[in-house]
Amino acid sequence: MLDCWQVEAGKSTPSHGSLKDFASSNPSWDKIVELSLHLATTYLDKPDEQDKEFRNNSLILARLIQYLELAHAMKHGDIGHVEATFLHWVFVFKSVGKHKYATYLIKTMNDLRYVYPE
């Protein structure tokens, strides 16, 4: 993903040969968001993509980003964010045939929200 950032930062401003150069230029938050959206639409899942290798790699990258989000939230004790990622993982487990994991995760989501006290 860092390679993608470097390529796109270099395209947006040719004087940025590295990510350090890009960071030292103090880009605005709007520029970072714009670049992030461009990266997501360029390098992540494209259902109509004909290149099967690119499609496979982009699907893997999309799943890894979701995993990194979950790992970061767990590492920092952000249980609300961890809980917010549960639904995504239910769909992943269902799509790969891990129905028991998906069912248990749904049960856990339900218990956290409606059974256990705050």
DSSP string, the chain: -HHHHHHHHHHH-TT--SHHHHHHT---HHHHHHHHHHHHHHHS--TT---HHHHHHHHHHHHHHHHHHHHHHHHTT-HHHHHHHHHHHHHHHHHTT-HHHHHHHHHHHHIIIIIS--
Q: How far apart are alpha carbons 16 and 21 in whole angstroms?
A: 5
Examine the pLDDT at 2 and tell me if it is beyond 90. no
Instruction: Find the mean pLDDT for residues 50-65.
Output: 81
Examine the pLDDT at 22 and tell me if it is beyond 70. yes
What pLDDT does 45 receive? Answer: 65
Q: How far is CA 4 from CA 15, 33, 34, 90, 103, in A?
A: 16, 15, 14, 29, 36
Instruction: Band the pLDDT of 31: cuts 50, 70, 90.
Output: confident
Total Cβ atoms within 10 A of residue 14: 8
Query: Maximum Cα–Cα distance for the chain, whole Å?
Result: 56
Percent of the chain with pLDDT over 70: 92
Examine the pLDDT at 98 and tell me if it is beyond 90. yes
What pLDDT does 57 receive? Answer: 80
Examine the pLDDT at 99 and tell me if it is beyond 90. yes
Instruction: Band the pLDDT of 94: cuts 50, 70, 90.
Output: very high
